[in-house]
Structures are given as structure tokens and as C-alpha cells.
């Protein structure tokens, strides 16, 4: 993987309503991200709890966090739209306040997006049931590496709603390009919407996407608990009615969208199968709850209105039937590597201890991601291969730093040589001036002095850059190039150089100092070239 640093901003939008008990875990997972160019937007959707207090607590820790507030509860859909309106990122992401992500999540996704020019990058989904029970449902995977053009929408509909990972939003990042288009459609929904809002969002986003890719190395953790805003546990008749109303709102919005885009004929059957699936899932659960007879009758009537067409529904439990426990060993290892206190990563291979400066976590993570799976499958891990690869990377990085230092040294030499030439010229015109050269000679002398001063100021800037590059070389290559008094040396001859230039001795003195700087710089550049 290239060491080119990606600096595109990701705006992560977190709606909050009655989920403050989980908000700190969510925010902690974002603050710890290996990718730092994040904009975290907390949208308080009229929550009666202490959202603002928690937000202010974290704003003091991290200036990347913004806080936006709804005066009253508008629902999850509107809160996400509000978050987008307040965003400035090149990419948009969503995270519910009771969910969280692995510590390398957004770096991996944005690198994939930039590498492949994707509008959507989707990641692995892990269900968190609490108390360490985290499960990967293996069939919640995407049966593709990448999709382009019309295939993005076709494949979205081919799974007919069975694969939950397709249509939830927090396990993905989106290009701002498609969100700018999608938000025009979202404005058509003005209702309080909290159930199946992802279905409405995803339909439009996949329609506008020109390329979709997947990534399985990192994970989004979907927390299952009774307190979730979309939970169907401990449900009341009022909440059941509201959920059914939300289903109707989302599916009506999408149906109208398909018809407006003249694609209902193509996708209508799969859309109706999706509606039938959701109808069956909610109906079979709600009508088995302890509601009054008349309440059940009302709900059944509403379900029939919501889904008048009858379709054979596939086994809705199929995609969650094959599961494995989530192995968090790799994430724990990454967390230790990303700790700000970690400066060196070492590999102890039998009788050899290899240490290398910790420069780019992504390089090491790439190897760990590939090879750690062998360990988790009890097949053993090839640490020798990891060591060899890291050695190669270390050498590449060392050569890069040396090359950059040599280039910086040459720039400083050019500035110093120019200063030397102008000082020589000033000196010569100064001698002529001493023997009665006149006004014209004096002006030429002062012109060369002024030019030399500009050259030396540029040299001072170049020497400081050279010093910084040398520090990098010392760190990466484990060298001991003496730079201790380099800058103080430079400061010495520059500090005394802005006095009365009329005196010829001052010119000679400045010339000697510049020549010494040239000698020292050339010596270090030659040393670097011989390495």
C-alpha cells in the first residue's frame, strides 16, 4: 500500500435521543480512530436526558466535535438530514449513539473509497448483544468486491431486504456527491420517522451511486438492547401503531421515488416482496403480543392496508443462521499500536530482535489484517513474513527520508551560493567605492548587499527545513548525523547580518560565515549520498 497520506474529511453524524447511556462508548470509538481528519456532529434530537452535557464534556477533549440541537424531537430521519446540513466533509457517515466502530474503521473505508473512486464503501457488520457477546452473521456479507453503474441498484434489490447489511447506513461511508443529490429527495419526507428510515435513505443513495465496494477487515458494531429507539421489545400499542405508520411512510416514499425515476416497472416486484417481508416480520411479532382484541384488529387492518399484495416470503432468518463469535484480538493489537505512547514496534523472531520506528500504522495493519486470520483459524501466523515485509518498508522509508534530506540540503546550498556570489560582488564594488567610485558605485554595492540579504533569509528558511529532514533521517535510519548546533550556527551568522553594511569588514565577515555554512551543508549532503 502506498504511503501517500489521504487528507479528505469525513463527517460522522450521530443523532441522539434517549441513548445517552451508550453515547460515551460511541464517541470514544471515534476519538480513538487511526484516521484523524474527522468531523463528529452530535445532533441532539430533543432528548430529555443529558446529551448536551456529555457533548460539551467531549468537545473539551476534542475540537473535531460539533453540537447541533433540535428544540423538539423530530425523529431519526430528520436528525440525520440536519447533521448533513451542518457537515463539511468530503465523505458522509452515520453512527447511532448506541453503536460504535473498530478503531481502524474510517481510515480503511476512506482509503478504499479514494483508491477505487467509490461513492459507497460498505464494511462488515457485527451484532453486539452485550456482556462480550459479539457475533458475525456470515451471510450478512456482500457477494461482490465492487459494483458499478446500474449494477449498484440491481444488486441492492436482488436480496429483497433479506440481507440487513445492505440497507442500514452506519456500516458505510458515502461520497458527498451522492448525498447532495439524495438530500433533495429526502426533503419530501417531513414526518417524524424513526422506523425503517435506513430503507428510505439507502434506496436513494444506491440509486445515485456509480461505484460501490466492500471491505471486510474492519467492523461496525450494531448494539442490540431493549432501550434502542427502534427496539420492538416491551412495545406498547401506541408504539406499535407508530412503527406501522413509519413503515408506511418509508415504503410510500420509495414507491414514489421509483415511479418518479421511471424504474418501478423494473424493480416493482422486488420492492413489493421487500414490503411483504417487512409486513410479515412485524405482523407475526406484534399480533402475538398481549394486546387487547380490538387493538390487534386495528393493527391487522393497518397491516393489510400497508401490504395489500401477497407474496411468498423467503425465510427471513436465513441470513442470520450462520454465525461465528467476533474475534477482537486484532482490534486490541491495533489499539496498542495506535497508542500515542507507542513510538517503536518490535518483532522478536527467535534469536533476533528487530525494531523499527512506528511511522505509518496502515502499513503494519495491512500485514496484520492479512496474516492474523491464520492465527484466528489455528493455522499459525507467519511472523517471519511480517518481519520481512516490515523490513522492506523500513528500507523504503529510509531511502525516502534520505532523498528528501538531500533535496533540502541542495536547496539550502543554492541559496547560500547565491548569497556568496552577491557578497563577492558587493565586496568588489565596495573596494571601488573606497577609492572614489561615486554615487553609481555605491548604489551597485548596496544593490548586491540587499540581494545577498534576501538570499540569506531564503537560506535560513531552507536550512531550517534541512534540519527537520535530518531529524527524520536520524530517526528512521538510526544514524547519528550531528545537527545539534546546526540551527544555532545558522542563527549566529544571520543575527549579526543586519547592521551597517557600509563597512567593508562586515561584508568580509558575512562572506566567511556563508562559506562556513556552505562547507557544513556540503559535508552533510555528501555523507547522506554515501549512505
- Tell me the pLDDT tens digit for each residue of 102-124: 988 999 999 999 999 999 999 99
Residue 49 DSSP class: S
Burial call 494-529: b when 16+ CB within 10 Å, e when fewer: beebeeebeeeebbeebbebbeebbebbeebbeebe
What is the reported pLDDT for 305? Answer: 92
Helix axes 293-306, 264-286, angle to 10 degrees: 170
Name the one residue in this structure whose C-alpha cell is 473498530.
102
What is the reported pLDDT for 391? Answer: 63
The whole-angstrom separation of Cα 364 and Cα 387 is 10
Comparing CA positions, the residue from 402, 405, 420, 404 lying closest to residue 518 is: 420
Three cell numbers, residue 258: 421509483
What is the reported pLDDT for 366? Answer: 57
How many CB atoms are closer than 10 A to CB 216? 13
CATH number belonging to the domain at 10-231, selected among 3.90.550.10, 3.10.20.30, 3.40.50.720, 3.90.1010.10: 3.90.550.10
Strands 344-349 and 352-357: antiparallel
What is the reported pLDDT for 321? Answer: 74
Q: How far apart are the first and last CA of the chain?
A: 26
What is the reported pLDDT for 500? Answer: 43
Residue 319 DSSP class: G
What is the reported pLDDT for 289? Answer: 85
Helix axes 237-260, 197-208, angle to 10 degrees: 20
- Beta carbons of 75 and 193 less than 8 angstroms apart: yes
What is the reported pLDDT for 385? Answer: 61
What is the reported pLDDT for 405? Answer: 82
What is the reported pLDDT for 7? Answer: 85
In this structure, whether the domain defined by 394-530 belongs to CATH 3.40.1620 is answered with no
Comparing CA positions, the residue from 479, 530, 468, 525 lying closest to residue 357 is: 479
Comparing CA positions, the residue from 153, 255, 244 lying closest to residue 200 is: 255
What is the reported pLDDT for 402? Answer: 79
Name the one residue in this structure whose C-alpha cell is 443529558.
50
The whole-angstrom separation of Cα 123 and Cα 385 is 27
What is the reported pLDDT for 428? Answer: 64
Compute the chain's Rg from CA coordinates.
32
- Beta carbons of 11 and 88 less than 8 angstroms apart: yes
- Beta carbons of 329 and 376 less than 8 angstroms apart: yes
The whole-angstrom separation of Cα 447 and Cα 433 is 13
- Beta carbons of 103 and 331 less than 8 angstroms apart: yes
> pTM score, two decimals?
0.66
Helix axes 439-477, 383-434, angle to 10 degrees: 170
What is the reported pLDDT for 499? Answer: 41
Strands 65-70 and 38-45: parallel
Residue ranges for the chain with pLDDT beneath 70: 1-5, 226-234, 337, 340-395, 397, 426-446, 448, 472-505, 531
Which H, E and C letters describe 244-307, residue by residue? HHHHHHHHHHHHHHHHHCCCHHHHHHHHHHHHHHHHHHHHHHHCCCCCCHHHHHHHHHHHHHHC
- Beta carbons of 101 and 220 less than 8 angstroms apart: yes
Residue 314 DSSP class: P
Comparing CA positions, the residue from 463, 462, 481, 461 lying closest to residue 471 is: 481
Summarised one tens digit per residue, pLDDT across range 268-292 is 999 999 999 999 888 888 888 888 9
Residue 33 DSSP class: -
The whole-angstrom separation of Cα 322 and Cα 516 is 73
* Domain map (residue ranges) of the chain: 10-231, 327-381, 394-530
Please name the residues in contact with 115: beta carbons below 8 A apart, sequence gap of 6 or more. none
- Beta carbons of 376 and 382 less than 8 angstroms apart: no
CA dihedral 185, 107, 377, 354 (to 10 degrees): 170
Strands 100-101 and 65-70: unpaired
- Separation in Å, CA 111 to CA 4, 56, 197, 256, 508: 10, 31, 28, 35, 55
Count of all residues that appear for the chain in the document: 531
Amino acid at each position: 500500500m502506498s504511503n501517500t497520506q489521504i487528507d479528505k474529511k469525513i463527517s460522522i453524524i450521530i443523532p441522539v435521543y434517549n441513548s445517552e447511556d451508550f453515547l460515551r462508548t460511541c464517541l470514544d470509538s471515534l476519538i480513538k480512530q487511526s484516521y484523524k481528519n474527522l468531523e463528529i456532529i452530535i445532533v441532539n434530537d430533543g432528548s430529555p436526558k443529558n446529551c448536551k452535557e456529555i457533548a460539551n464534556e467531549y468537545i473539551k477533549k476534542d475540537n473535531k466535535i460539533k453540537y447541533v440541537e433540535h428544540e423538539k424531537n423530530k425523529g431519526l430521519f430528520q436528525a440525520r438530514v440536519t447533521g448533513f446540513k451542518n457537515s463539511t466533509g468530503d465523505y458522509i457517515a452515520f453512527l447511532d449513539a448506541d453503536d460504535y466502530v473498530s478503531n481502524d474503521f474510517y481510515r480503511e473505508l476512506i482509503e478504499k473509497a479514494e483508491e477505487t473512486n467509490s461513492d459507497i464503501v460498505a464494511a462488515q457488520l457485527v451484532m453486539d448483544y452485550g456482556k462480550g457477546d459479539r457475533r458475525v452473521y456470515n451471510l450478512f456479507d456482500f457477494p461482490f468486491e465492487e459494483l458499478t453503474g446500474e449494477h449498484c441498484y440491481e444488486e441492492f434489490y436482488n436480496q429483497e431486504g433479506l440481507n440487513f447489511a445492505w440497507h442500514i447506513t452506519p456500516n458505510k461511508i458515502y461520497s458527498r456527491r451522492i448525498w447532495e443529490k439524495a438530500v433533495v429527495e429526502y426533503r419530501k419526507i417531513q414526518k417524524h420517522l424513526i422506523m425503517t428510515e435506513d430503507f428510505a435513505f439507502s434506496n436513494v443513495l444506491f440509486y445515485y451511486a456509480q461505484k460501490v465496494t466492500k471491505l471486510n477487515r474492519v467492523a461496525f458494531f450494531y448494539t442490540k438492547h431493549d432501550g434502542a429507539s427502534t427496539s420492538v421489545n416491551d412495545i406498547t400499542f401506541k408504539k406499535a401503531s407508530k412503527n406501522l405508520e413509519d413503515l408506511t411512510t418509508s415504503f410510500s416514499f420509495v414507491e414514489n421515488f421509483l415511479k418518479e425515476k421511471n424504474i418501478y416497472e423494473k424493480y416493482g416486484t422486488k420492492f413489493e416482496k421487500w414490503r411483504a417481508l417487512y409486513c410479515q416480520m412485524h405482523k407475526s411479532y406484534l399480533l402475538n403480543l398481549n394486546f387487547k382484541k380490538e387493538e390487534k384488529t386495528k393493527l391487522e387492518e393497518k397491516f393489510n392496508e400497508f401490504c395489500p399484495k401477497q407474496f411468498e416470503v423467503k425465510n427471513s432468518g436465513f441470513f442470520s443462521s450462520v454465525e461465528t463469535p467476533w474475534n477482537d484480538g486484532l482490534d486490541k493489537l491495533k489499539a496498542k499500536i495506535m497508542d500515542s505512547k507507542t513510538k517503536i514496534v518490535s518483532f522478536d523472531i527467535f534469536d533476533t530482535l528487530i525494531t523499527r520506528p512506528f511511522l505509518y500504522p496502515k502499513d503494519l495493519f495491512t500485514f496484520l489484517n492479512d496474516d492474523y486470520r491464520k492465527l484466528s483459524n489455528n493455522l499459525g501466523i507467519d511472523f517471519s513474513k511480517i518481519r520481512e515485509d516490515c523490513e522492506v518498508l523500513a528500507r523504503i522509508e529510509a531511502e525516502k527520508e534520505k532523498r528528501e534530506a538531500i533535496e533540502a540540503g541542495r536547496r539550502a546550498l543554492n541559496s547560500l551560493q547565491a548569497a556568496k556570489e552577491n557578497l563577492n560582488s558587493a565586496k568588489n564594488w565596495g573596494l571601488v567605492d573606497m577609492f572614489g567610485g561615486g554615487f553609481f558605485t555605491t548604489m551597485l554595492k548596496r544593490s548586491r548587499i540587499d540581494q545577498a540579504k534576501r538570499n540569506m533569509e531564503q537560506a535560513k528558511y531552507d536550512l531550517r527545513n534541512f534540519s527537520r529532514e535530518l531529524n527524520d533521517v536520524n530517526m528512521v535510519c538510526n544514524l547519528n548525523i550531528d545537527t545539534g548546533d546546526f540551527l544555532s550556527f545558522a542563527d549566529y551568522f544571520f543575527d549579526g547580518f543586519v547592521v551597517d553594511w557600509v563597512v567593508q569588514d562586515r561584508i568580509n565577515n558575512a562572506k566567511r560565515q556563508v562559506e562556513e555554512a556552505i562547507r557544513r551543508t556540503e559535508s552533510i549532503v555528501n555523507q547522506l549520498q554515501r549512505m
